[in-house]
Amino acid sequence: MENKKYYISTAIAYTSGKPHIGNTYEIILADAIARYKRLKGYDVYFQTGTDEHGEKIELKAKAKGVSPKEYVDEVAAEIKRIWDTMNTSYDRFVRTTDPHHEEIVQKIFNKMYEKGDIYKGEYKGLYCTPCESFWTESQLVDGKCPDCGREVEEKSEEAYFFKLSNYQDKLVDYIEKHPEFIWPESRKNEMLNNFIKPGLQDLCVSRTSFDWGIPVTIDPKHVVYVWLDALTNYITNIGYDPDGSSEEFNKWWPADLHLIGKDIIRFHTIYWPCFLWSLDVELPKQVFGHPWLLTNNDKIGKSRGNAIYADDLAKLFGVDAVRYYVLHEIPFANDGNLTYELLIERTNTDLANTLGNLVNRTISMANKYFDGVVKNTKVSEDVDLSLIKMINELDSKVENKMDKLEIGFALDEIFDLLRRSNKYIDETCPWQLAKEEDKKDRLQTVLYNLLESIRVCAKLLYPFLPETSDKIFKQINISDQSLAFNDNNEYKDMVPEVLFARIDKDKKLKEIEENS
Ligand code: ME8
């Protein structure tokens, strides 16, 4: 039987500047989900990339004295480099300046026009340049852009419009009948009550005020509105074509999950479904609007000067420590906070102590007491039962959380077992058993149980901390990949190495200050 397919995408990042740790959080989150699905036997397609058109980028390039294409080439390469540094296993990195994408977007625009969903009109409105969005008076917050809080200006231009109003009733009905479509559920009500039910205005889908975009072929002084260009990346890059899509498209579409930040749920759950309906294409199964990562409890902004970058953090703390921190810190629906102090504390407590020490102590004891050869001697006691039960339940507990996209809580389940295993060492006191000759078999069972716990945890840690998981498997030197307690393993030739060195907080903070 063929494996079940799973198509996951991230938002495509703006190439306006280097992505900060908040943007990078998203690709790490997507990577954890993609790796987990692969581990569970799914045939996964994981797409990410860059959103490269629009006025803001044109202005940035101008300010730098380079062409827009030169500008986006440089930033896209930087974004890809950061995604790679963070060890993310995407299958394709797409760019909206790719000629194939541009050609299909033009065809899409024409198809919508021919269908009568796009018509020509005049746009008058309040425009926010950084967000490239027109707003109505009532949408403004304190007279300013509701997304970024900056000034808006009055603008009018000849433009093409997409008849969102054609799809309003269908959209309300669809969202109400598919409670899993907008995730978390709280976001669903926000979309329905604040944006859709009050009435959808037709959407302006072309611009004439700047050039850096995909030209509209039927009227070349217009370029395609950046969100119509950007959203379609999810289908153009897997072979969608209005004249006949490829096998690849039929294999992967509909996407199983669009992973995006909470600020762009509106675009993905209002515009995107209507665009797809206009093309007679099925909707993605789910859109998950993840919360924000804040720094010092403040929104991270490229222009706010408080941006922290993932590659800098990786240099200071290591890739897996950063992955662990961001995944754990935003368990599901609430914003998370990043500070250097908290990152150091988490690394020390969870990674160096709970995980690192457990692995190190267990292997060292196995080497010391049994010359590194440990089998299950099955001299069991009651205290083993709860540990073994937890080992055997971990797989389904993690799955339960992952299915709800509660990624941080899934990670917590694994750390609960690691903490339980440390407690098991305190309960069984191997160093005392080692002193009594007739307790040797009992001691071997204790170490065996611990090694099995480490093995299952390491396997399930793989989606979150891939490098650490590989290192642990190398250290415990075992090939068994099963996710339950196995009686028949033999552990030998194990080499303990420090997984995460304890960080001296004051020293590290001083180092950070000196380098900033
Ligand atoms: O929005 N914490 O691109 P982008 C968590 N090009 N996530 C954050 C964040 C933070 N502090 N700041 C931003 C765009 N994000 C569009 C997407 S998709 C067809 C087009 C998230 O570079 C943000 O919500 O501004 C988005 O999902 C992603 O980072 C890229 O943001």
Q: Determine the 3-state secondary structure of 430 from DSSP.
A: helix
Give the number of the atom of ligand 1 that is nearest the alpha carbon of residue 16: 22
Residue 512 has pLDDT above 80, yes or no: yes
Structure tokens at 73: 């080439």
Please, how many CA atoms are within 13 Å of residue 258, restricted to the half-sphere of its CB?
28
Cβ(22)–Cβ(290) below 8 Å: no
| Cα–Cα distance measured from residue 22 to residue 14, given in angstroms and rounded to the nearest whole number | 13
The string of pLDDT tens digits covering residues 216-254 is 999 999 999 999 999 999 999 999 999 999 999 999 999
Give the number of the atom of ligand 1 that is nearest the alpha carbon of residue 51: 6
Mutational pocket test of ligand 1: of 21, 86, 148, 264, the residue with most ligand atoms within 8 Å of the beta carbon? 264
Structure tokens at 426: 């305190």
Q: Using a pLDDT cut of 90, give the percent of the chain over it.
A: 89
Nearest-CA residue for ligand 1 atom 29 is 23
Helix, strand and coil percent figures for the chain, each rounded to 5: 55, 15, 35
Distance 394 CA to ligand 1 centre (A): 32
User: How many residues in total does the chain contain?
Assistant: 516
| Cα–Cα distance measured from residue 427 to residue 485, given in angstroms and rounded to the nearest whole number | 20
Instruction: Verify whether ligand 1 is closer than 6 Å to residue 61 (CB atom).
Output: no
Distance 505 CA to ligand 1 centre (A): 31
Residue 515 has pLDDT above 90, yes or no: no
Instruction: Verify whether ligand 1 is closer than 6 Å to residue 260 (CB atom).
Output: yes
For residue 158, how far is the Cα from the chain centroid?
A: 38
Instruction: Verify whether ligand 1 is closer than 6 Å to residue 300 (CB atom).
Output: yes
Superfamily of domain 343-491: Isoleucyl-tRNA Synthetase; Domain 1 (1.10.730.10)
pLDDT of residue 509: 96
| Cα–Cα distance measured from residue 101 to residue 99, given in angstroms and rounded to the nearest whole number | 5
Structure tokens at 471: 């290192």
Instruction: Verify whether ligand 1 is closer than 6 Å to residue 456 (CB atom).
Output: no
Phi and psi torsions of 177, nearest 5°: -85, -10
pLDDT of residue 252: 98
Give the global pTM.
Answer: 0.94
Give the number of the atom of ligand 1 that is nearest the alpha carbon of residue 23: 29
Cβ(417)–Cβ(454) below 8 Å: no
* Domain residue ranges in the chain: 343-491
Average pLDDT, the chain: 95
| Cα–Cα distance measured from residue 458 to residue 361, given in angstroms and rounded to the nearest whole number | 15
Distance 398 CA to ligand 1 centre (A): 27
> For residue 124, what pLDDT band results from cuts at 50, 70 and 90?
confident
Distance 25 CA to ligand 1 centre (A): 10
The string of DSSP letters for 315-327 reads HHH-HHHHHHHHH
* Helix (H) or strand (E) run with residue 147 in it: none
Distance 11 CA to ligand 1 centre (A): 6
Residue 158 has pLDDT above 60, yes or no: yes
| Cα–Cα distance measured from residue 164 to residue 280, given in angstroms and rounded to the nearest whole number | 15
Distance 29 CA to ligand 1 centre (A): 13
Distance 277 CA to ligand 1 centre (A): 25
Nearest-CA residue for ligand 1 atom 23 is 261
Strand partners, 336: 293
The string of pLDDT tens digits covering residues 430-462 is 999 999 999 999 999 999 999 999 999 999 999
Strand partners, 144: 141
| Cα–Cα distance measured from residue 444 to residue 417, given in angstroms and rounded to the nearest whole number | 20
Q: How far is CA 253 from CA 40, 131, 178, 257, 397, in A?
A: 20, 29, 18, 11, 29
Closest CA to 296 of 351, 344, 341, 263: 341
> For residue 303, what pLDDT band results from cuts at 50, 70 and 90?
low
Instruction: Verify whether ligand 1 is closer than 6 Å to residue 362 (CB atom).
Output: no
Distance 261 CA to ligand 1 centre (A): 6
Q: Which residues contact 187 (CB under 8 A, 6 or more apart)?
A: 262, 265, 269, 289
For residue 387, how far is the Cα from the chain centroid?
A: 32
The string of pLDDT tens digits covering residues 79-122 is 999 999 999 999 999 999 999 999 999 999 999 999 999 999 99
Cβ(174)–Cβ(128) below 8 Å: no
> For residue 147, what pLDDT band results from cuts at 50, 70 and 90?
confident
Instruction: Verify whether ligand 1 is closer than 6 Å to residue 433 (CB atom).
Output: no
| Cα–Cα distance measured from residue 491 to residue 452, given in angstroms and rounded to the nearest whole number | 10
